[in-house]
Amino acid sequence: MFDTILYGLTIGAILYLFSIGLSITFGTMHIINFAHGMIYAIGVYLFISLLPVLWGSFPLALVAAVVAMLPLAYLVERFVIRRLYGDGIDYAIIATYAILLIGTDVIKLVWGSGPKPVSDPIGIPIEVFGTVVQTYRVVVFISAVAVFVGLRIFFTRHVIGKIVIAALKDRDGVRSLGLDVNKFFSIVFVIGSALAVMGGVLYAPITVAEPYMGFHVLLLAFAVVIVGGMGNLTGTFISAMALGQVIALTGRFYPAGADTMVFVVMTLVLLKDPIMEFARRLAGRHAYR
Amino acid sequence: MPAEVLARQGVRFVNQDKKVFADLTVKDNMELAAYACGEPVERAVERLVSLYPKFAGFLDKKAGNLSGGQREILLIGRALVGEPRLLLIDEPTEGLAAIVIEDIFRILSDMKHKISSIIVEQNLPIVSRLADRVLIMKDGAIAREVADPAEIIDTSMLESWL
Amino acid sequence: MGLVGAAFLLLSIVTPMHWLTDFAVFCILVLSFDLLYGYMGRLSFGHMLYYGAGTYAASLALVHLAPNPFLAIGVGMVASAMLSAIIGYVVVRIEGATFALVNLSLNQIGFWLAMSGLQTYTQGEDGLSSSVRAIGFLDFYNVPVAFGFMLACLLLVFGFLRILTQSPFGILIRSIKENEERVKFLGYDTFRYKLMTFVIASTLAGFAGTLHALVKGFVAPGDFGPLENARVIFAVLIGGAGNLYGAIVGGVAYELMVNLLATNIARWEMFLGIMLLALVFWFRRGITGYAADLAQKIARSRQADAGNT
């Protein structure tokens, strides 16, 4: 059982790292950013190509892949996301979806359509609470917790983090102080993209890299962000960890339904209010509105 | 012109909605303003406290928990960071209790000799005590200028105009 | 309506007829999506769920009940109508991004049900084959007959939506797109209208799905996966959202592109992505929007000419 829970924590960690950027972009720009999946997938493929060049060092290739993706993330923010700010949710969804499609095809063009495995960089199992588990998974979970703590400090202590927190609710207030809000949103967008690449690379040894990996993680991350509350960073962490457990536990008893269970949970969370209201109506008490 | 460019040229707004950065502390609110002007935070905070000494006690309190009047004072304090040349204040006393209105009046009259302000206000006794020049607006246009600020206390005169 | 029919018949001179059969089915799907998105302003990333429900219900009816095409159409439409009524009852209360995403996740659940959850009925990934018996001259394996039938269905749907969108109901749902609060303020129960539109759009998508089952005789989960929604959204955008002719033009343009380019352009997804970006950034009003501009310009210059002489 413990290995199932640890697996859930690992999946939750990956989902968290990926979802932060989505959540921030929704909170700041009110945009659902499908292009986040493109950054994630291309980052992983870049990592795979960089790994042999950098003497097979996993951490080095991870850092290099993250750094290499920063300019691309900036370009997406500057020329697509920012241009669509305030244009209504649909155009942004369609445009960022288009970028994801293009990115997927670029992967197929450069790296081919077949799946690419990445080997576990640690490989040595350890014993925790009497169960033998992969050390790597423990490391992944600890990294996610470290990122969570780091982001909390950034958003409560660093002035740039505070500016973003202020601008989430009062964009005009920040502008009236003479601060260019877009600049700060760009910074957190790029941070979010870097974390997505980190999540993707950390996930690669657990699964395989394939061109549509960006689509798959996006679907799960939408569930994370919606359950956790869009733009709510602590909520995103809790929700990612909880949904990681949903995946792991469902997977243990009914493997075919593991991912789908996440959507069932998400749908229930989203429809909480209408369902409650329906229940009230059934109970004959509809004097609330 | 974008609001941030206008602000950097020395024109600051205080909107009537009394919206502070509610998730941040009072000190953080001042820090953002100080950061925007490249001023040390301590100086900005010091000036806020000199404006309204009670703030010294709750610099670390979430700005969202302040009363309406305290928010207004915080907003004025925030707008004053970095020596702006012109301050535009919309309805500073709207919806506030009488005691706080007196505090705000005191702050605004202290500022009078240091910075030019344009204040939109409907509280006529305040206007008559505070203003150097009074312009009456009607339907979005300036209807007329009142020669002597004290004169607007006389509501019958106003009724003939509005 | 005659215009649409004539255009399709004209196209049949230059394009293979079995293509046009598919085009007509796709156009019905695009029309149904346009009602929801173009007219009522609700972007769903899960419209294909109802297409899939129609296809599977029709195929199952063909396999297990009787190989009668009309029975299949009836069963498929009832299935998608019931499904959308239940789901719509809760989802039409939400809007914006959440609406798009909750529908996406519902579509994903449906996809998974067809793929593995209900594998015993749907045959999972292998897909479900079915066959139809001819009724009189109506033989779906005869290409011109199938084309004629699908075209008739398309015209029927087009005519129905034309009447619907020009009726007070149509005006009301367009007002909901503009400003729902105001419509509520005028005393309308917008929930009822939103639910009705959702069910009509979904049932028509289901109708298109049943036709898919009839002409293809085969359905697999991939036919209605969540990512398939991009095709419909794209078609509506090329044509111009909120315009029935636009939906037809977009549907045909998209299908022509797929059929002519997808086999010749190796980088099809990239091409589609770039086209979508171009549509969002530079050609938001779609083909019909620009055609209307052009027509207006010509009319104005004619008027000017008439004034000069």
The reported pLDDT for the residue numbered C138 is: 82
Cβ contact C138:C149 at 8 Å: yes
Query: Residue A282: its chain C contacts at CB < 8 A?
Result: none
The reported pLDDT for the residue numbered C75 is: 95
The stretches in chain B having pLDDT less than 70 are 149-162
Of C96, C108, C273, Cβ closest to residue A219: C108
Nearest alpha-carbon partner for C232 in C216, C266, C255: C255
pLDDT digits (tens, 9 = 90+) for C16-51: 877 888 899 999 999 999 999 999 999 998 999 999
pLDDT digits (tens, 9 = 90+) for A230-240: 778 889 999 99
Cβ contact A255:C116 at 8 Å: no
| Minimal C-alpha gap between B3 and chain A (Å) | 5
The reported pLDDT for the residue numbered B121 is: 83
Q: Do A176 and B19 touch (CB under 8 A)?
A: no
Cβ contact B46:B79 at 8 Å: no
d(CA C191, CA C103): 17
The Cβ-side half-sphere exposure at A105, using a 13 Å CA radius, reads 16
Cβ contact A186:A75 at 8 Å: no
Q: Indicate the residue type of C97.
A: A
- Tell me, yes or no, if C30 comes closer than 8 A to chain A by beta carbon: no
Tokens of C135: 């009724």
Query: Residue C117: its chain A contacts at CB < 8 A?
Result: 256-257, 260
Please state, as a whole number, how many other Cβ atoms lie within 10 Å of the Cβ of residue A286: 11
The reported pLDDT for the residue numbered C33 is: 95
pLDDT digits (tens, 9 = 90+) for C67-98: 888 999 999 999 999 999 999 988 898 888 88
Q: Indicate the residue type of A272.
A: K
- Can you say whether the dihedral through the CA atoms of C157, C159, C165, C169 is positive or negative? negative
Beta bridge partners, B89, equal: B14, B119
Task: Give the A window 142-201 contacts with B, CB below 8 Å.
Answer: 159, 162-163, 165-166, 168-170, 172-181
Query: Residue C267: its chain A contacts at CB < 8 A?
Result: 105, 109
The stretches of chain C forming alpha helices (DSSP H) are: 2-14, 17-34, 48-60, 69-91, 96-112, 119-122, 143-166, 168-178, 180-185, 190-216, 229-239, 244-261, 268-281, 286-308
Q: How confident is residue C154, by pLDDT bands cut at 50, 70 and 90?
A: very high
| Minimal C-alpha gap between A268 and chain C (Å) | 10
Cβ contact A161:A155 at 8 Å: yes
Using CA atoms, how far residue A114 sits from A118, A193, B138, C39, C268, in Å, is 13, 25, 72, 42, 17
Q: Do C273 and A270 touch (CB under 8 A)?
A: no
Task: Give the C window 226-255 contacts with A, CB below 8 Å.
Answer: 226-227, 230, 233, 237
| Minimal C-alpha gap between C255 and chain A (Å) | 18
The reported pLDDT for the residue numbered A72 is: 95
pLDDT at A286 over 60: no
Interface test with A, best of B4, B27, B48 (most A CBs within 10 A): B4
Q: Do A263 and C269 touch (CB under 8 A)?
A: no
Mean pLDDT of C174-200: 91
Element (H, E) at B88: strand B86-90
Q: How confident is residue C302, by pLDDT bands cut at 50, 70 and 90?
A: confident
Task: Give the A window 210-269 contacts with B, CB below 8 Å.
Answer: none
Query: Residue C277: its chain A contacts at CB < 8 A?
Result: 80, 95, 98-99, 102
The reported pLDDT for the residue numbered B104 is: 85
Burial of A157 (0-12, 13-18, 19+ CB in 10 A): exposed
The reported pLDDT for the residue numbered C81 is: 96
3-state secondary structure of B87: strand
Q: Do B19 and A166 touch (CB under 8 A)?
A: no
Query: Residue C238: its chain A contacts at CB < 8 A?
Result: none
pLDDT digits (tens, 9 = 90+) for A215-253: 889 989 988 988 888 778 889 999 999 999 999 999 888
pLDDT at C309 over 50: yes
Mean pLDDT of A266-286: 72
| Percent of chain A whose predicted confidence (pLDDT) is above 70 | 98
Q: Do A226 and C101 touch (CB under 8 A)?
A: yes
Angle between helices C69-91 and C190-216 in degrees, nearest 10: 150
Q: Do A162 and B12 touch (CB under 8 A)?
A: no
pLDDT digits (tens, 9 = 90+) for A106-154: 999 999 888 988 888 887 888 877 778 888 999 999 999 999 999 999 9
Of B3, B24, B79, Cβ closest to residue A175: B3
pLDDT digits (tens, 9 = 90+) for A55-104: 989 999 999 999 999 999 999 999 988 888 877 777 888 899 899 989 99
ipTM of the complex as predicted: 0.83
User: Left (φ > 0), alpha (ψ -120 to 50) or beta: where does C34 sit?
Assistant: alpha
Q: Do B3 and A170 touch (CB under 8 A)?
A: no
* Nearest chain A residue (CA) to B80: A177
pLDDT digits (tens, 9 = 90+) for C221-278: 988 888 788 889 888 988 888 888 889 999 998 888 888 876 777 787 888 888 888 8
Q: Which residues contact C166 (CB under 8 A, 6 or more apart)?
A: none
